[in-house]
Amino acid sequence: MADEPLVLGIETSCDETGVGIVRGHTLLADAVASSVDEHARYGGVVPEVASRAHLEAMVPTIERALKDAGVAASDLDGIAVTAGPGLAGALLVGVSAAKAYAYALGKPLYGVNHLASHICVDQLEHGALPEPTMALLVSGGHSSLLLSSDITSDVRPLGATIDDAAGEAFDKVARVLNLGFPGGPVIDRYAREGDPDAIAFPRGLTGPRDAPYDFSFSGLKTAVARWIEAKRNAGEEVPVADVAASFQEAVVDVLTRKAVRACRDEGVDHLMIGGGVAANSRLRAMAEARCEAAGITLRVPRPKLCTDNGAMVAALGAEMVSRDRAPSDWDLSADSSLPVTEPHVPGASHTHGHTHDHVHETSAGNLYS
Ligand code: KG4
Ligand code: ZN
């Protein structure tokens, strides 16, 4: 439809500078510049390195996205940007760029939540989200089960990790195995050659008295590290593929079991899985099998839309425009700990439901001077 909103989305919460352009539920461009190689030698994302890389990549990536989409900036109906959660300095680069473009072009600005964007992106793949949507959100910083009746205004957490995020566990186990960073994709690859039943690693918080929708991966990570250490101390070779497969199986088993249970308990017949870990091939396969057995329709975007990207931000921005949500104020600030319950960020002058410190542009001078 020609009257569907044309929105550009900017994502800079971590190490990918993402710029996406969508028209309603249609993906037109998804340009990503990653600084991951610059962080690999440190074994994790270095915030200052990420901020500077965003600054350098921002304008070229926006220009590339506009060119890929074949649209002019003047045709846009709005500019959306990740306002949080994420790395404060990295978020600031995106928010400042979005404000500059929106102001210069005379377009409305939409500050949106990174986590809600990971869910909304599936509209580009499978059409309008069912309402309510049950979402399993699994990324480097978050692991949650969320129930949303409207992705622009109502996201309710049913449970979350009480320690490490799922992606964080992948990254830490990969480090112990000396497989580099980020760990998820490489463990996924090794696991294909390994036996998932080779080692019985613990499934956290799955006892009858445990919180049914909360997750814990810290004990698993420690169990894997201890197992590897014992092998090394005994002078034996570590069977990397079997460790990767058995560890991955433990994570994926718990994630899918709890997600299916949440759907059953809440009477929801769709499950959406989003976030970087949703790119995992074993998670996708096990979720498919368990959802099918339970009569649940599974929605998982293609892997490239699961990891951080600008299209997901544009998708949520387009939904904001479609639903007539008020644009953000020009005093919109980045909020590194924006709660998942706030999909839309109206601006600092509005009263927020939480009391985290907001990062204002005044601090950007210190970061980049
Ligand atoms: O959503 P995302 O790109 O960034 C955050 O918002 O955190 O997620 C990044 C996380 C990393 O921990 C990475 O190791 C993990 O997603 N990841 C994977 C796979 N691809 C990325 N984990 C398991 N299997 C994968 N194939
Ligand atoms: Zn993410």
Query: In this model, does residue 364 exceed pLDDT 90?
Result: no
Please state the rounded mean pLDDT for residues 19-45.
93
Within-domain flag for 192 = yes
What pLDDT band is residue 301 in, cutting at 50, 70 and 90? Answer: very high
pLDDT at residue 290, as a whole number: 98
Of the listed ligands, the closest to the CA of 188 is 1
Q: Which of 257, 275, 300 is the last residue of a domain?
A: 300
Domain boundary among 251, 266, 300: 300
Are 192 and 232 in the same domain? yes
Express each pLDDT in 43-81 by its tens digit: 889 999 999 999 999 999 999 999 999 999 999 999 999
Q: Are residues 285 and 353 in the same domain?
A: no
Measure 139 CA to ligand 1 centroid, in angstroms. Answer: 5
| Beta carbon of 276 within 6 Å of any ligand 1 atom | yes
Let me know how long the chain is. Answer: 369
What is the phi/psi pair of residue 164, to 5°? -80, 150
Element (H, E) at 293: helix 281-294
Protein residue whose Cα sits closest to atom 22 of ligand 1: 184
- Ligand 1 center to residue 330 CA distance, Å? 32
Name the β-bridge partners of 111: 81, 345
Q: Which atom of ligand 1 is nearest to the CA of 275?
A: 1
H helices within the chain, ranges in order? 36-40, 47-69, 88-105, 114-120, 122-126, 166-176, 183-191, 218-233, 240-266, 281-294, 303-306, 311-322, 362-368
Atom index in ligand 1 nearest the CA of residue 183 equals 14
pLDDT tens for each residue of 311-352: 999 999 999 999 999 999 999 999 999 999 999 998 777 755
Q: Could you tell me the CATH number of the domain that includes residue 213?
A: 3.30.420.40
214 neighbors 257 (Cβ within 8 angstroms):
no
pLDDT value of position 357 = 47
| Known binding-site residue numbers for substrate | 137-141, 171, 184, 188, 280
Q: Do residues 139 and 87 share a domain?
A: no
Q: Is the dihedral of CA 37, 42, 46, 48 positive or negative?
A: negative
Where do we find the tokens 């479609």?
322
307 CA closest ligand 1 atom index:
3
Final residue belonging to a domain, choices 300, 328, 352: 300
Residue 167 Cα, ligand 2 centroid: separation in angstroms? 10
Whether the pLDDT of residue 363 is over 70: the answer is no
Q: Please determine, for residue 1, whether its predicted confidence score (pLDDT) is greater than 80.
A: no
Question: Are 168 and 217 contacting, i.e. CB atoms less than 8 angstroms apart?
Answer: yes
Q: Is residue 94 part of a domain?
A: yes
Q: For residue 279, which atom of ligand 1 is closest to its CA?
A: 26
Q: Give pLDDT tens digits for 180-231.
A: 989 999 999 999 999 999 999 999 999 999 999 999 999 999 999 999 999 9
207 and 271 belong to one structural domain = yes
The model's pTM is: 0.93
Residue 368 lies in a domain: no
Residue 224 lies in a domain: yes
Instruction: Give the mean pLDDT of 159-183.
Output: 96
The predicted structure's pLDDT at residue 2: 54
> Is residue 274 lining ligand 1, measured as CB closer than 6 Å?
no
The fraction of the chain above a pLDDT of 90, given in percent, is: 89
Which ligand is closest in space to the CA of residue 186? 1
In this predicted structure, what is the pLDDT of residue 347? 77
CA 103, CA 91: separation in Å to the nearest integer?
Answer: 18
pLDDT over threshold 60, residue 130:
yes
Q: What angle in degrees, to the nearest 10, is found between the helix axes of 240-266 and 281-294?
A: 30
- What is the pLDDT of the chain when averaged over all its residues? 94
**Of the listed ranges 41-55, 99-113, 233-247, 295-309, the one predicted with least confidence:** 41-55
Q: Is residue 342 part of a domain?
A: yes
Specify the pairing of strand 143-150 against strand 133-138: antiparallel
C-alpha–C-alpha distance, residues 247 and 222, integer Å: 11
Task: Judge if 50 and 162 occupy the same domain.
Answer: no
Residue 40 has what pLDDT?
84
Task: Give helix 218-233 / helix 166-176 axis angle, nearest 10°.
Answer: 10
Q: Are residues 144 and 238 in the same domain?
A: yes
Give the CA count within 13 Å in the CB-facing half-sphere of 277: 24
Q: Are residues 278 and 138 in the same domain?
A: yes
* Per-residue pLDDT, 42: 86
- Hey, which of 249, 307, 313, 336 would you mutate to test ligand 1's pocket, going by the most ligand atoms within 8 Å of its Cβ? 307
Tens digits of residue pLDDT in 211-220: 999 999 999 9
Q: How many alpha carbons lie under 13 Å from residue 94 in its C-beta half-sphere?
A: 39
15 lines ligand 1 (CB under 6 A): no
Cα separation, 147 vs 157, in Å, equals 6
Distance, CA of 164 to CA of 162 (rounded, Å): 7
**Quick check: 314 and 304 in contact, CB under 8 A?**
no
pLDDT at 356 over 70: no
Q: Which of 32, 220, 277, 286 to mutate to test the pocket of ligand 1 (most atoms within 8 A of CB)?
A: 277
pLDDT range class, residue 359, cuts 50, 70, 90 = very low
Query: 275 with 148, same domain?
Result: yes
278 and 169, same structural domain?
yes
In total, how many domains does the chain have?
2
Residue pair 115/106 in contact (Cβ under 8 Å)? The answer is: no
Is 307 near ligand 1, meaning CB less than 6 Å away? yes
CB of 277 within 6 A of ligand 1: the answer is: yes
Please tell me the predicted confidence (pLDDT) of residue 124.
Answer: 98
Work out which ligand 1 atom sits closest to the CA atom of 170: 14
Task: Identify the domain containing residue 45 by its residue range.
Answer: 6-121+305-363
Predicted confidence (pLDDT) per residue in 241-291, tens digit: 999 999 999 999 999 999 999 999 999 999 999 999 999 999 999 999 999
Ligand nearest to the Cα of 138, by number:
1
pLDDT mean over 133-154? 97
Does one domain contain both 281 and 138?
A: yes
359 assigned to some structural domain: yes
Ligand nearest to the CA of 189: 1
> Do 116 and 199 reside in the same domain of the chain?
no
**Ligand 2 being an ion, which residues bring their Cβ within 5 A of it?**
139, 308
Same-domain pairing of 38 and 13: yes
